[in-house]
Amino acid sequence: MTEPIRLLLVDDHPLVRDGLRARLETVGHFVVVAEAGDAASAVLAARSAAPDCVLMDISMRGVHGVELTRQLLAEWPALRIIMLTMHDEPQYVIEAFRAGARGYVLKDSPAQEIVAAIDAVMAGRRYFTASVAEALATASLPEPVLTQRECEVLALIADGRSNKEIAQRLDLSVRTVESHRINIKRKFDLEGTAALMKFAVERKRLKVS
């Protein structure tokens, strides 16, 4: 049997979290390992409970859900984040995905859609709730932007360098290099090492030509 998907619920309304937990706990391969009502509690919960996936509201007191997404992914690049919100405006969706969210579901969606979103993002795909997908039909997601360090790592990947070699060349730890690789794959929806290598080589070829 595979390990259950560990979930962290982040919403500043306890009743919303209670209802969401009740729905998710009926799914055999899910386990809600922690809840949080604000950004600081969410970071602490992520450190202590080691979730695989976070379901997060956008509008919360204090730190906005989009900014919290950036904070969490800066520390845990492999974490999968789904925005669970009432906002269906394209700009909210674009901001969320630019921050690194992998799914976007409206709070009034049926339970089976939330389950489908979790399963999709854990399988490496993006997930939009149906009405959000329609709203995005006239608005395109911007081209992902790589940081300077990610560009350096990608260039060395194109040269066939291993994580250890890249770490030595850039004076980084191997773990940091791996985090950069995960971020690049997440930003461009790349699955696996072969896809990353192909992307790196093609990107380098375009710059040279």
How large is the average pLDDT for residues 57-70? 87
- Quick check: 114 and 84 in contact, CB under 8 A? yes
- Long-range Cβ pairs for the range 19-22 (8 Å, 24+): 20/55, 20/84, 20/114
Q: What domains appear along the chain, each with residue ranges and CATH number?
A: 5-137 (3.40.50.2300), 148-208 (1.10.10.10)
In DSSP terms, 32 is beta-bridged to 7
Nearest-CA neighbor of 192 among 181, 202, 203? 181
Quote the pLDDT of residue 177. Answer: 92
More confident residue, 95 or 52: 52
Which has the closest alpha carbon to 191: 130, 136, 138, 120?
120
Q: What pLDDT was estimated at residue 208? A: 55
Query: Which two structure tokens, joined as six digits, stand for 85?
Result: 């919100």
Per-residue pLDDT, 141: 57
Q: Is the pTM of this model over 0.75?
A: no
Per-residue pLDDT at 51 exceeds 90: yes
> pLDDT at residue 1 above 60?
no
* Higher local confidence (pLDDT), 46 or 148: 46
pLDDT, greater one: 131 or 30: 30
User: Which tokens is 200 given?
Assistant: 């790196």
Cβ proximity of 184 and 145 under 8 Å: no
Per-residue pLDDT tens over the stretch 174-193: 999 998 998 888 888 788 88
Is pLDDT at 209 greater than 50 in this prediction? no
